[in-house]
Amino acid sequence: MCALWGTVKLLFIGDIVGQPGRKIVRELLPELRRRLGVSAVVANGENAAGGAGITPETAAELFAAGVDVLTSGDHLWDRKEVIELLTNEPRFIRPANYPPGTPGQGSRVFNLDGVPSFGVLNLQGRVFMPELDDPFRLAQAEVARLREATPIIVVDIHAEATSEKIALARLLDGQVSAVIGTHTHVQTADEQILPGGTAFLCDAGFTGPHDSVLGRAIEPVLKRFLTCAPQRFEVAKGRPLLQGALIDIDELTGKARAIQRVSEPGLT
């Protein structure tokens, strides 16, 4: 049940990277749900399988750990097994601004036991990213559709450019509960409630090994920069953190009451 009557506490977990990211979610999420009074958990899982892509097996591991909804991004197609998720898993969301006819779903309303219904919309930016349909115009149409079912809507904008994330949040201010950025793997310090009642964080950071370069082993990345020669970027192992944001949402209006960054160290 919700920790406070009239309140939905939604935990958004930043990009989960490889086995270390999945491990820290397994270790910490049950206790975080209890301690923070979390109603629902949305996590970006596009890097959950070996640091690039996601599979039915890695998704199942995260769902079993307590994640309710998984979003994705530009690494969506890195594993061919993702087709099974796109076709058969209603808790898995891909960017909605793929062209019509692309397998999967870009938004959905979820109904969990003891929690008011809530919508999740996944979008991908276009600045310094693979070209997709316009996320701004599509977001307005998708949000209008979701609001017919619930005022509680969380948007994962998977994008490189901070300006694009901020602009989307300003566009949707007052229409959604939260706009949370993913993709850069660097947690920003700009959490805020916009004038219309929408919570915003430019980037949730990443969940996985932080003694790294964005989750990858340091030496191969340095060799790539120093020599320009191809390198195999293995997932790092040291200093795991679970990063994201906790959003306190009024269940009647869908407006955010508070947002706080989360950065929890692993148990081992």
Radius of gyration of the chain (CA): 17
Cα distance between residue 209 and residue 19, in whole Å: 10
CB atoms within 10 A of CB 101: 5
Question: Does the annotation mark 158 as catalytic?
Answer: no
Spatial CA neighbour of 1 closest among 109, 112, 111, 115: 115
Cβ partners under 8 Å of residue 20, min gap 6: 208, 209, 235, 236, 237, 240
CA dihedral in degrees (32, 242, 113, 63; nearest 10)? -130
Catalytic-role residue among 75, 158, 185, 210:
75
Tokens of residue 180, six digits: 């949370």
CA dihedral in degrees (187, 48, 59, 98; nearest 10)? 80
Tell me the catalytic residues: 75
